Amino acid sequence: MSDVDMEILVIDDEQHYRESIRQTLSEAGLPCRVASSMGEARERAGVSPPALVLLDLGLPNSDGLESLAEWLLGANAPKVIVLSDVSAQGEVLEALRRGASDYLAKPLHEEELCLAVRRNLEAWAVARNLRNLETQLETLAIRSESLHRESEATPVADEFIRQGVVDLACDVLKAQRASLLLLDTAGKHLVVVARSGTLSSREGMEPIPCGEGVSGFVFSRAKPMWVEDMETHPDLATLSNPGRYRSKSFVAVPIFHAESLLGLLFVSEPMGRKAFAKGDLSLLRWAAQPLAENLRSSSAHGRNGGGLDKDGSRFRESLREASPALNAEVLSKPDSDGEMELESEMAREICQAVADEIDPARVIGVALGRVAALLPAAPVSLYLADSVSGELRCEATLDGGVCEDRPDLELRRGLTGVAIQTGQLVASEDPSSDPRFDVEVDTPMGGKAQPMMCLPLRLRGKSVGLFRAFLPEGEPVSPRTAEVLSAALSAALRSVLLYRSLVESIEEVAEARKDRRS
């Protein structure tokens, strides 16, 4: 909830309540704006649209339910918490039926107010991020296909592709600066060969020694990197130039040819927000794929791929000297345009499931059904980790008429346990040949081993669940497809968990009030 665009607007005609809410939220680190009428609120929203509205249903000269409907219009509608007297339960229930996300009874309890506000801001951010992800994936798919087609018709394909990828990364991630740096023929410096963005300039175009500065350090790590704040990062705090970056957040991915590290795609200065999201790193890795293909093509045709020798030997030798510890895994490129379309379609279907379902409790089941049809796979299941029992409990499953999956799984057994414990994708066309295979965990209820994929689902950096699919023979799924699927399902799961938290909080508050009245 650190994004600068999450505004809170309080609408109440009673000055005492307006100022009390403003003070309580401000002390909790949640500054807000206030309005005494719908007219004043419209003016304030016109300047800066809110993410959350606290609406008094009893505003004079205004119908509370009509006012609620006005705020709920549009794709980027704010969350609305309605405020009312305890006696107006009928109107409150009708407001909740019509789309209000929460309610608070007057007089307000300070802690209850802050909890409700934080919960609804987070829910709004999740919904916004899902909308953004759908748009970004669509843009990425269309632009990538266009870049491939147009590059085949240009005589300077190398330069066209490199500049095109940098422009694409800048647009999809909504950044103000993106650069492609390739290793020189001596293997000692990174050279900027393409850049894009409104903050892009000739400044800083000088070669960067490997291992020096922010870019050099990231290159030496040879791993994709997402940083929210350079000033708090233990390795970057002393490397960053305070005057060079307006924002302290960036995402970067290394560029490989065969086993050799050749360059870096570096994106910084996010627009309209303080930091990049972790999902932006996955998008950047996908956007960078044409660069790896271009370098392979340059090598095959004897062109100079930014310092690349025909056999890559000079790079391998120089890299051993510069950084002997480099040992990076190279993600495979989608095998075809059809696979890239599959990734986009799965992410869109999951986002659509979240948007379409009125009852969030059904979101996971609907999302699983759409994924199962696209892969295809059966059974497919989503499990949540239970820290008390030490097991994975099945949240939703679809057997596809084939075989049921297991209702509970032990957290630390089999290939499934490896996925949840390490937070890494586990996939195998022949899982029974792996020494870690456990027939009581890594098979559906029938006990028959078959191709399997396990994706950890992560929230705030922690594995909280697992998606598992059993695939037909000869239908493997690429690591990149699995990565897109994992990110989209994690976002959907977060939406469902937030909904449950909201329901539980409302029930607890209602029960507490009932106890007080009795």
Tens-digit pLDDT profile for residues 102-115: 999 888 899 999 99
Mean pLDDT of 350-376: 68
pLDDT at residue number 349: 61
Return the CATH class of domain 337-501.
alpha beta
Taking phi over 0 as left and psi of -120 to 50 as alpha, with beta for the rest, 179 belongs to beta
Q: Which residue shows structure tokens 């040819």?
A: 257
CA distance 288 to 333: 10
Mean pLDDT of 449-477: 82
Mean pLDDT of 302-331: 38
Q: What are phi and psi of 289, to 5 degrees?
A: -55, -40
pLDDT tens, residue by residue, 258-287:
667 888 999 999 988 888 888 888 888 888
DSSP 158-225: HHHHHHHHHHHHHHHTTEEEEEEEEE-TTSSEEEEEEEESTT--STT-S-EETTSHHHHHHHHHTS-E
Mean pLDDT of 378-404: 84
Residue 107 class from Cβ within 10 Å (0-12 exposed, 13-18 middle, 19+ buried)? exposed
Going by the DSSP 8-state scheme, the letter that residue 29 receives in this structure is T
Confidence category of residue 507, pLDDT binned at 50, 70, 90: low
Would the CATH topology of 8-108 be identical to that of 337-501?
A: no
- Domain locations in the chain? 8-108, 154-322, 337-501
Check pLDDT > 70 for residue 313: no
Confidence category of residue 118, pLDDT binned at 50, 70, 90: very high
pLDDT tens, residue by residue, 440-462:
999 998 888 989 889 888 877 77
pLDDT at residue number 83: 92
Rounded mean pLDDT of the chain?
78
For the ranges 13-17, 182-186, 481-485, which has the lowest average pLDDT? Answer: 481-485
Structure tokens at 296: 């392979």
CA distance 54 to 113: 10
- H or E segment at 284? helix 278-287
| Beta bridge partners of residue 385, listed in sequence order | 392
Check pLDDT > 50 for residue 329: no
CA distance 180 to 241: 19
Check pLDDT > 60 for residue 511: yes
pLDDT at residue number 447: 87
61 within 8 A of 72, measured Cβ to Cβ: no
- Which of 9-13, 57-61, 64-68, 151-155: highest mean pLDDT? 9-13
Which of 376, 348, 380 shows the shortest CA–CA distance to 476?
A: 376
pLDDT at residue number 351: 62
Query: Is 294 strand, coil or helix?
Result: helix
Residue of 125 and 239 predicted with greater confidence:
125
Residues 409, 414, 416: CA angle, nearest 5 degrees: 60
Compute how many other C-beta atoms are within 10 angstroms of the C-beta atom of residue 213: 18
Going by the DSSP 8-state scheme, the letter that residue 443 receives in this structure is S
Residue range 154-322, CATH number: 3.30.450.40
CA distance 440 to 414: 8
pLDDT at residue number 213: 84
For the ranges 228-237, 435-444, 451-460, 470-479, which has the lowest average pLDDT? Answer: 470-479
Going from the C-alpha of 196 to that of each of 103, 217, 321, the distances in angstroms are 46, 21, 32
pLDDT at residue number 250: 92
Q: What is the pTM of this model?
A: 0.50
Residue range 8-108, CATH number: 3.40.50.2300
pLDDT at residue number 324: 31
60 upstream amide cis, omega within 30 of 0: no
Taking phi over 0 as left and psi of -120 to 50 as alpha, with beta for the rest, 113 belongs to alpha
Q: Which residues touch 181 (CB under 8 Å, ≥6 apart)? A: 190, 191, 192, 193, 208, 215, 219, 263, 264, 266
Q: Which residue shows structure tokens 């070669």?
A: 207
pLDDT at residue number 285: 84
SS (H, E, C) 51-117: CEEEEECCCCCCCHHHHHHHHCCCCCCCEEEEEEECCCHHHHHHHHHCCCCEEEEECCCHHHHHHHH
Residue of 359 and 84 predicted with greater confidence:
84
Confidence category of residue 334, pLDDT binned at 50, 70, 90: very low
Compute how many other C-beta atoms are within 10 angstroms of the C-beta atom of residue 155: 6
pLDDT at residue number 493: 80
Residue of 484 and 337 predicted with greater confidence:
484
pLDDT at residue number 115: 93
Residue of 297 and 462 predicted with greater confidence:
462
pLDDT at residue number 332: 36
pLDDT at residue number 144: 75
440 within 8 A of 408, measured Cβ to Cβ: no
Confidence category of residue 11, pLDDT binned at 50, 70, 90: very high
379 within 8 A of 470, measured Cβ to Cβ: yes
Torsion (CA) 216, 220, 223, 229 in degrees, nearest 10: -40
Confidence category of residue 33, pLDDT binned at 50, 70, 90: very high
Q: Which residue shows structure tokens 């999201």?
A: 277
